[in-house]
A = this chain, B = another copy of it.
Amino acid sequence: MLNSYSSADKVLLAVDCIIFGFDNEGLKILLIKRDFEPEKGKWSLIGGFLKKDEVLDSAAIRILDSYTGLQDIYMEQLHAYSEIDRDPVERTISVAYFALINIENHNAELIQNYHAQWFSVANAPKLIFDHDTMLRHAIRRLRYRTSIKPVGFELLPEKFTMRQLLELYEAILSKELDKRNFISKINSLDILIKLEEKDMMSSRKGSYLYTFDKEKYDAKLLNDFVLNL
């Protein structure tokens, strides 16, 4: 009978995380060198299995924390992957999540212990199973998400310059943007605070630091914006 619970099959459920970071070299992902079979020694997304009494979102949070030591991170469910032989060991359905982290904050020691490593998205190694597909989908989703929600800031330090923000969007979209047009579009969203403070690292003149004004953004109770870059 179609709807009988008892006769239905149970399956393994995994969670794989596409962990994005950003630095002055561009958009990065955190990968791990598998130290167990199958595909030992190959590069892989960071993942784990769902526990019986755990919600998918929590599993993703747990897995991210265990590899990076980070909490309170922006994560979003991407898609469930279920090809029969996607994992050669055993039938496993994987629900992919992507995370946006400030690359400076992760626990370096932890990721070293796990043989994890940051790779430029542009020239990441071939990944195991269907992880390349997951990554491709994650980038597509990231482009969409950053065009309607203020989540790009998750990838930057608390205080950032307009140039950093510009380069972040350029990295996400894989295309060059016009500086002046970009700045005026960002300013028209009216969600940044321009600080007194300047960043003196990048130039003699120094450039103003900005910070995302979450209170103001939330107070608008608004629908998503449309950021056409």
Which residues of A approach B to under 8 Å, CB–CB?
2-3, 5, 8-13, 36, 48-53, 55-57, 66, 77, 79-80, 82-84, 89-93, 95
Contacts and interface: CB of A to CB of B under 8 A. Distances in A.
A83 B13 CA distance: 14
A48 B12 contact: no
A13 to B, nearest CB: 6
Contacts of A79: 77
A206 to B, nearest CB: 38
A9 B50 contact: yes
Given A3-B36, A11-B11, A49-B8, A55 B83 contact: yes
B56 A3 contact: no
A5 B13 CA distance: 10
Nearest to A56: B82
Contacts of A82: 50, 55-57
A217 to B, nearest CB: 20
Contact of A93 (B56, B83, B90, B92): B56
Contact of A48 (B2, B13, B84): B2
A55 B2 CA distance: 17
Nearest to A6: B90
A182 B110 CA distance: 55
Contact of A90 (B5, B48, B51, B57): B5
B83 A11 contact: no
Given A3-B48, A10-B12, 11 more contacts: A2-B48, A2-B66, A5-B89, A8-B49, A9-B12, A9-B49, A9-B50, A10-B10, A10-B11, A10-B13, A56-B80
Contact of A8 (B9, B12, B53, B57): B12
Given A80-B56, A80-B77, A9 B51 contact: yes
Contacts of A11: 10-11, 13, 50, 52
